[in-house]
Amino acid sequence: MNAQALRHLYNYHFAENRKLWDAYVLPLAPEQFTQAAAYSQGSVRDQLLHLMSVDDVWFSELQGRQPAEPLPAALADDRAVIRASWDEVEARMRAYLAGLRDEDLFSRPIQEPEEDRGLVVWQVLLHVVNHGTDHRAQLLRLLNDLGVQTTSQDYIFYVYNHP
């Protein structure tokens, strides 16, 4: 594992997040966006807020800073506000990744919570991509249940299009 390989994985992560938004989330009716679901984080909206929050929390911990404040409840149904917030999270992630060096991958920058102190950077970075893939798969199933025709998010298809 090296920094360039991780940047490549994050390009996949970011591309799949954007595909999810552009192809499937934006066209949803408002009631579909917020429709309750009994699995995982709940509605499409709640899954997206969870993904954005987790990305921000882990990258904030890597950098020793506080994550952004959660969106106020009044704005939590506004897809444009959510997308803009997620774009800010992605920009902070990209800035961190741009400065990442191979020798950084084995450092242990996280001090709190205590259970995360032993994690090295590459483990955290791999976890965030894996977590995103897991929740996007849950979202694709949820969208399918809402009648949306979705496609695969398989990493290999990203590689075929981004050699």
User: pLDDT by residue (tens digit) across 26-65?
Assistant: 999 999 999 998 888 889 999 999 999 999 999 999 999 8
**Residue 91 CB-density burial (10 A; 0-12 exposed, 13-18 middle, 19+ buried):** exposed
Mean of pLDDT over the chain = 92
Q: pTM for the complete prediction?
A: 0.92
Cα-based torsion angle of the residue sequence 151, 155, 158, 163 in order, rounded to the nearest 10 degrees: -160
C-beta of residue 3 within 8 angstroms of C-beta of residue 149 = no
Query: Is residue 20 predicted with pLDDT exceeding 90?
Result: yes
Among 128, 152, 22, 129, CA closest to 83: 22
How crowded is residue 78: how many other Cβ atoms within 10 Å of its Cβ? 14
Q: Which residues contact 127 (CB under 8 A, 6 or more apart)?
A: 58
C-beta of residue 11 within 8 angstroms of C-beta of residue 162 = yes
Q: Tokens representing 47?
A: 């899954």
DSSP state letter for 105:
G
For the domain made up of 3-28+37-161, give the CATH fold.
Answer: Four Helix Bundle (Hemerythrin (Met), subunit A) (1.20.120)
Amino acid type, 6: L
Strand, helix or coil at 48?
A: helix
Q: Tokens representing 144?
A: 């399918």
User: pLDDT by residue (tens digit) across 98-138?
Assistant: 999 999 999 999 988 899 999 999 999 999 999 999 999 99
Give the confidence band of 1 by pLDDT, cuts at 50, 70, 90: confident
pLDDT of residue 94: 98
